[in-house]
Amino acid sequence: MKLHLTRRYAFAAAHRLHSAQLSEEENRRLYGKCANPYGHGHNYHVEVTLSGPVDAATGMIANLAELDAFVGREVLDAFDHKNLNEEVPAFRSAVPTTENLCVEIFRRLCTFPAAHLERVRIEETGLNSFEYAGE
């Protein structure tokens, strides 16, 4: 029997949407107010979905305490109350759009040993959410 488990997390972070490959005018046109040189912040909500068999002894796909510790170490500690452009090495060369953030979080979590990572979903605002399920 294979089940899915989804766990929700939250963190706050700032970013500036700006591509070095574009002119200032193109950045303003493309990213609008999100290209503000001083950046802006979001309260992100992240859903992590795992799948796997239910362990006969524990009755669980994965131990939630182990998952929480892993997500805390790999994602929350790295992103919470950070400026993504300046404090997260992955975004020194990539634009920290929520699409790219979703892929980066998936990359960080795909090594969770207890279950298979199915997808990462990020809600940036009440109007925007992004989901990545790997290649």
pLDDT level of residue 1 (50, 70, 90 thresholds): confident
Give the catalytic positions in this structure.
34, 81, 124
Mean pLDDT of the chain: 96
pLDDT tens string 29-56: 999 999 999 999 999 999 999 999 999 9
The pLDDT value recorded for residue 135 is 85
Percent of all residues in the chain with a pLDDT value above 70, rounded to a whole number: 100
pLDDT tens string 53-66: 999 999 999 999 99
Spatial separation of the C-alpha atoms in residues 82 and 105, rounded to whole Å: 15
List own/partner pairs for 103-109 with CB under 8 A and 24 or more apart. 103/132, 105/46, 105/75, 106/132, 106/133, 106/134, 108/74, 108/75, 108/78, 109/48, 109/70, 109/71, 109/74, 109/75
The pLDDT value recorded for residue 128 is 95
**Count of structural domains within the chain:** 1
Host domain of residue 33: 2-132
pLDDT at 8 over 90: yes
The domain that holds 68 is classified in CATH as 3.30.479.10
pLDDT level of residue 2 (50, 70, 90 thresholds): confident
